Copies of this chain bind each other. A is one copy, B any other.
């Protein structure tokens, strides 16, 4: 069976396992006050061009989103997100569990449009009863989005500008950030994110780590008390060095970028294969998630041989599905996929 379901089906990049084994019996203080965490943070600051950045390592995406949002919002505030945003759909109400509403706006292929956010805010504050409603306090975006799409630098600057005008924080969920940074033609870099966002995170779970997300606050003092909040949210790892070792490895010799680039190369090949097989693309994604429409015959041909993620039934037996590549995708798996598709 070939697996293209998602980008978190394997363990970690072998170098990470090696480092974990090498350091296994070291004695270190817990909770992130170890030399591996310090080193990893320093490397991330360098990569972001942000010597002052405050960095925290958390374990997974949902917990990171809830903790960051809880940390930056006042109790009467909510967070604006695309209706398709992960926090609005697939996090079991983790944000609401911290007491905050998700203010869902229409999406454009998973993205928020700065102009539409501005219009929404203008209408909100024009409404005479706006003080009876949840006050917008933050804009949440994901990059890549849940549909694999990307913001341009200019789109991010547009959102930053709306946020500045309305006193909102801008938070970017980078669960798959590596694949976004490695995409062809993108002009978004870590430095750009550090300039545009109040906070963002660099995803490890889906990009080569066993688990782990590195939260970056480019400006000092953005989230006072954040360490205690992480503890309160159950997001503080006792053996914090496990996170430090992983991110230190990923940010040594550009490993994070190299393995991301590999996934993108695999995704480009995958696109070609699917295209040649006559699949139509459900939407156009430049990253490691590819959404295509499979007809009945194609579904049948892949059955029992290739595993993918069903996304949406389109009627007439057609199915929108997701194929994902990752740092772990092998060339030979793509070759095999092509052979299978050629048999149709």
Contact = CB atoms under 8 A, between A and B. Distances in A.
A132 to B, nearest CB: 5
A75 B71 CA distance: 7
A70 B75 contact: yes
A228 interface: yes
A135 B27 CA distance: 29
Interface residues of A, number: 79
A92 B17 contact: no
A11 B21 CA distance: 8
A134 interface: yes
Contact of A21 (B17, B63, B211, B225): B17
Interface in A21-46: 21, 23-31
A143 interface: no
A304 interface: no
Contacts of A27: 1, 3, 9-10
A75 B234 contact: no
Nearest to A232: B92
Nearest to A328: B25
A237 interface: yes
Contacts of A185: none
A202 interface: no
10 contacts: A9-B27, A10-B25, A17-B24, A21-B21, A60-B234, A90-B133, A91-B231, A92-B229, A97-B233, A134-B232
Interface of A: 1, 3, 5-6, 8-12, 14, 17, 20-21, 23-31, 59-64, 66-67, 70-71, 74-78, 89-94, 96-102, 104, 128-129, 131-135, 205-206, 210-211, 224-225, 227-229, 231-239, 242, 310, 328
